[in-house]
Amino acid sequence: MNIRKDKIIEQAFKVPFYYQVCFTESIFNVENSLLARQLGGEKKPKVLFVLDEGVHRAHPYLYDAVISYSEHYKEVFTLSAEPMVVPGGEKAKNENKYLQQILDATHEYGIDRHSYIIAIGGGAVLDMVGFAAAIAHRGIRHIRIPTTVLSQNDSGVGVKNGVNAYGKKNYLGAFTPPVAVINDFRFLETLEDRDWRSGISEAIKVALIKDASFFIWLESHAVELMDRKNPAMEELIVRCAEMHLDHIAGKDPFESGSSRPLDFGHWAAHKLEQLTNYQIRHGEAVAIGIALDTAYSHLKGMLNETELNRIIQMIKSLGFELFVPELSGSSILQGLEEFREHLGGELTIMLLDAIGSGVEVHEMENDLILESIELLRQYQFQDLKA
């Protein structure tokens, strides 16, 4: 056979992805068969549970409840080992030993591609465990059970996972859809006020770039949200999850391009987390990042002062800071360059030209960013209602 030296063989294929985001209460009550139904199938699978240490402390019954639930549904799935407990928060993503512990467990307990790894915890634990599931055996089935507002309405319902490396947020990771996401609202009852509030910033984010009516809803329900009224929070979570899933179903779910509208406010937030040694919560950093990009939009002439004040007042009314000392100086500007690098060299930033209307730009002016930071410092101590 004579083969031409310039011969090219091409192939293209599509892989459909399908998963459910479910809402329930008391997921490990044996009378609640939702999780067991997700695991049911022709072959009884092995299941490895990974539990966030903070959730374990807040819900001391949970460890035994997982074991009891597994025993009750032993004809549906096999519990491969007692639940693993790992630290929550950014520690889970900053220290590789926890990722390695999950990988070691898949080897030790024979967790294969027909098995499941189920993570119960906040967004950082879900990210880390999801990454382990994505790379072991080139993909183990993964179910997420988010336990914070932020993970139930944003990070936990998406297709991204990863860990931090080289001092950068989510430097290592993969796009791997879960088999299912199950939101149990009962987990929210024990959250600290900071964690309850933190996830609301992601609701502000999607409202500002996608849905002005949702922003109005947030304004009218701010007091209920701050008073920890569950009906308001449950509606917030469901509406955010719906918008997040609608975005994922769009033209670029795996972010192969440089357009990332759901990262509105995040370029500064990620850097701010690092600069504060992760003492600031992700949602708190996002709130400041949103305020910064909103102020920049105004100073750039894109957003009028009335809408700027509404947004700033909303953020303040929900108890968020607008300014922290680490925001000052040139260090925060490095976050913009790191974000550019993360996007593959072409910067794409979402700004606002109105509440509910995001506009993508490809450059930001450093002097105007610093001016925006100074404006936030002033707003921090200003009563906008006066």
pLDDT tens for 134-189 read 999 999 999 999 999 999 998 899 899 999 999 888 899 999 999 999 999 999 99
Tell me 182's DSSP state: E
Write out the residue range of the structural domain in which residue 252 sits: 193-380
Residues 342-357: what's their mean pLDDT? 87
Query: Are 124 and 112 contained in the same domain?
Result: yes
Whether residue 122 lies inside any domain: the answer is: yes
Query: Are 136 and 255 contained in the same domain?
Result: no
- What SS3 class is residue 165? strand
Count how many domains the chain has.
Answer: 2
Query: Are 233 and 307 contained in the same domain?
Result: yes
Q: Which two tokens stand for residue 344?
A: 């593959």
Q: Are 384 and 316 in contact (CB under 8 A)?
A: yes
Query: Are 280 and 132 contained in the same domain?
Result: no
Determine the pLDDT at residue 208: 96
Whether residue 206 lies inside any domain: the answer is: yes
Residue written as tokens 């990620």? Answer: 270
Whether residue 385 lies inside any domain: the answer is: no
User: Given 190, 217, 238, which residue is the final one in a domain?
Assistant: 190
Q: At what angle do helices 212-220 and 230-248 cross, to 10 degrees?
A: 160
Query: Are 218 and 150 contained in the same domain?
Result: no
Residues 341-370: what's their mean pLDDT? 90
Residues 355-359: what's their mean pLDDT? 95
Q: Are 75 and 64 in contact (CB under 8 A)?
A: no
How far apart CA 81 and CA 109 sit, in angstroms, is 7
Determine the pLDDT at residue 252: 66
- With a cut of 60, say whether residue 58 has pLDDT above it: yes
Confidence of residue 381 (pLDDT cuts 50, 70, 90): confident
Whether residue 253 lies inside any domain: the answer is: yes
Residues 354-371: what's their mean pLDDT? 94
Confidence of residue 6 (pLDDT cuts 50, 70, 90): confident
Query: Are 155 and 228 contained in the same domain?
Result: no
Beta bridge partners of 117: 48, 142
Determine the pLDDT at residue 40: 86
CA end-to-end span of the chain: 84
What's the mean per-residue pLDDT of the chain? 92
Query: Are 154 and 208 contained in the same domain?
Result: no
Tell me 245's DSSP state: H
Residue type for 214, please? F
Determine the pLDDT at residue 249: 80
User: Given 190, 211, 233, which residue is the final one in a domain?
Assistant: 190
Q: Look at 159 and 4; give whichever has higher pLDDT.
A: 159
Q: What count of Cα atoms within 13 Å lies in the side-chain half-sphere of residue 244?
A: 25
Determine the pLDDT at residue 385: 53
pLDDT tens for 252-280 read 677 765 557 678 999 999 999 989 998 99
Displacement of CA 259 from its chain's centroid (Å) = 17
Query: Are 181 and 203 contained in the same domain?
Result: no
Q: Are 65 and 71 in contact (CB under 8 A)?
A: no
Query: Are 146 and 231 contained in the same domain?
Result: no
How does strand 84-86 pair with strand 46-52? Answer: parallel
Tell me 190's DSSP state: G
Q: Look at 262 and 305; give whichever has higher pLDDT.
A: 305
Whether residue 289 lies inside any domain: the answer is: yes
Give percent of the chain above pLDDT 90.
78
Whether residue 76 lies inside any domain: the answer is: yes
Query: Are 186 and 243 contained in the same domain?
Result: no
Query: Are 167 and 107 contained in the same domain?
Result: yes
Provide the CATH number for the domain around residue 116. 3.40.50.1970
Q: Are 121 and 98 in contact (CB under 8 A)?
A: no
Q: Which of 223, 224, 332 is nearest to 274 (CA)?
A: 332
Q: Which of 386, 360, 292 is nearest to 332 (CA)?
A: 292
Whether residue 10 lies inside any domain: the answer is: no
b/e map 317-338, b = 16+ CB within 10 Å: bbbbbbbbebbeeeebbebbeb
pLDDT tens for 203-243 read 999 999 999 999 999 999 999 999 998 899 999 999 999 98
How far apart CA 284 and CA 98 sit, in angstroms, is 25
Whether residue 239 lies inside any domain: the answer is: yes
- With a cut of 90, say whether residue 288 has pLDDT above it: yes
Determine the pLDDT at residue 386: 41
Determine the pLDDT at residue 384: 57
Q: How far is CA 23 from CA 76, 187, 202, 296, in A?
A: 21, 12, 19, 37
Query: Are 144 and 221 contained in the same domain?
Result: no
User: Given 161, 190, 219, which residue is the final one in a domain?
Assistant: 190
Provide the CATH number for the domain around residue 352. 1.20.1090.10
